[in-house]
């Protein structure tokens, strides 16, 4: 049923000159390479309600699904809902002495959908009432404060290490398979802190289960106006979790054009925007040319951050 709906949705964008086999002639697959509960899932599911997502592959902080998309046939029938971590994995693989599973040039950007700064959260019953409390305890007890993440070198890991480096503290990293499990670990008391996208944490913050200490933004968030930024507290820490849609590089321009039209229509639909409003996630849509420029700038910044972090072995859980 969903495959048929997807075909019908895209069929309205078929064009003259492709009559021999108008694109698409079969279902289009969207890979959302993260488990439920994280940013990619929060954005990808309602976007795919218009585009009818047909695949959800998880693992390795998203790297598995991204590599699958990079190696897919460039025919427009496999697209990717990726996060900013797409720029991280090739760099971290090289630092770790591995051959990257993909390179950024393996993807053709279609559109940026959202771009949210991360927020540092702890449980509401945590002894850390302010960021000052957190930093002071971390300095007095190096490596004793642990935090969860979506995986080694995933967005949440890199964000936390950018802050730790700026604050001159050492934290203990406990990686999980996605942002949703990382949030569950914090709420369940397995870890002390988490760098989270606002949409994934706002419900828990408003519900009194989490406390936000600071954000990685350049200005205070409209959702959390009372929460200071790291920069205003004197720490040079900035990080955004963005979500975007990609196709494999080499996808024909006419097909990319149809995909751009489809994503533009979906991202600007009342259905999708209402879904994003319900989860407190503003839409930051950018079409392919603008998204390409945004991605290039962000990739350079993230590469510099990962290189500063250096080689990191996946630690064993305590």
CA–CA separation, 63 and 308 (whole Å)? 21
The pLDDT of residue 62 is 66
Which of 84-93, 133-142, 151-160 is predicted most confidently? 133-142
* All domains in the chain, ordered by first residue: 2-115+242-308 (3.40.190.150), 119-238 (3.40.190.10)
What is 166-201 written as a DSSP string?
HHT---EEEE-SSHHHHHHHHHTTS-SEEEE-HHHH
Q: What is the pLDDT of residues 106-125, one digit of tens each?
A: 999 999 999 888 999 999 99
The mean-pLDDT minimum among 90-99, 149-158, 213-222, 285-294 falls in: 149-158
> Which residue from 306, 313, 302 is spatially nearest to 83, judged by alpha carbons?
302
- In the predicted structure, residue 209 carries a pLDDT above the cut 80: yes
| pLDDT tens profile 236-281 | 998 888 999 999 999 999 999 999 998 999 899 998 898 888 877 8
pTM: 0.74
- Cβ atoms within 10 Å of 37's Cβ, excluding its own: 16
Distance from C-alpha of 68 to C-alpha of 16, rounded to nearest angstrom: 31
288-293 LR contacts (CB < 8 Å, sep 24+): 288/108, 288/109, 288/110, 288/111, 288/256, 288/260, 290/112, 291/109, 291/110, 291/111, 291/112, 291/244, 292/109
Which region among 24-33, 147-156, 224-233, 276-285 has the lowest average model confidence (pLDDT)? 24-33
Whether 135 has a pLDDT exceeding 90, the answer reads yes
User: Residue 91 — very low, low, confident or very high, per pLDDT cuts 50/70/90?
Assistant: very high
Residue 149 sits at φ, ψ, to 5 deg, of -150, 175
- Res 44: pLDDT: 67
Distance CA 9, CA 47 (A): 13
Whether the CB-CB separation of 316 and 156 falls below 8 Å is answered with: no
Q: What is the DSSP letter of 61?
A: G
Q: Between the ranges 142-146, 148-152, 278-282, where is the mean pLDDT highest?
A: 142-146
Kindly state the percentage of the chain with pLDDT values over 70: 81
Burial class (CB in 10 A: 0-12, 13-18, 19+), 190: middle
């Amino acid at each position: 049923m969903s495959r048929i709906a997807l075909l019908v949705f895209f069929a309205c964008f078929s064009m003259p000159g492709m009559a021999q086999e108008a694109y698409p002639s079969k279902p289009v697959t969207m890979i959302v390479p993260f488990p439920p509960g994280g940013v990619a899932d929060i954005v990808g599911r309602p976007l795919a309600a218009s585009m009818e997502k047909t695949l959800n592959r998880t693992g390795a902080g998203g790297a598995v699904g991204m590599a699958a998309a990079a190696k897919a046939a460039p025919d427009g029938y496999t697209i990717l809902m990726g996060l900013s971590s797409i720029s991280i994995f090739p760099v971290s693989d090289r630092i770790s002495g591995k051959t990257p599973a993909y390179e950024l040039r393996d993807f053709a950007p279609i559109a940026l959908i959202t771009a949210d700064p991360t927020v540092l959260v702890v449980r509401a019953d945590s002894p850390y009432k302010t960021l000052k409390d957190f930093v002071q305890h971390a300095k007095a007890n190096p490596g004793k404060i642990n935090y969860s993440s979506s995986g080694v070198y995933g967005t949440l890991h890199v964000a936390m290490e950018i802050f730790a480096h700026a604050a001159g503290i050492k934290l203990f990293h406990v990686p999980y398979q996605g942002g949703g499990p990382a949030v569950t670990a914090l709420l369940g008391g397995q870890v002390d802190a988490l760098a989270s996208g606002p949409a994934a944490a706002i419900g828990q913050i408003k519900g009194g289960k989490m406390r936000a200490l600071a954000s990685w933004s350049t200005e205070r968030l409209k959702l959390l106006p009372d929460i200071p930024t790291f920069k205003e507290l004197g720490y040079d820490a900035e990080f955004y979790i963005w979500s975007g849609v990609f196709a494999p590089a080499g996808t024909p321009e006419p097909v990319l054009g149809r995909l751009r039209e489809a994503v533009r229509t979906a991202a600007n639909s009342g259905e999708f925007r209402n879904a994003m409003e319900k989860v407190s996630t503003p839409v930051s849509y950018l079409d392919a040319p603008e998204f390409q420029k945004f991605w290039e700038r962000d990739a350079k910044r993230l590469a510099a951050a990962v290189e500063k972090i250096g080689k990191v072995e996946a630690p064993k859980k305590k």
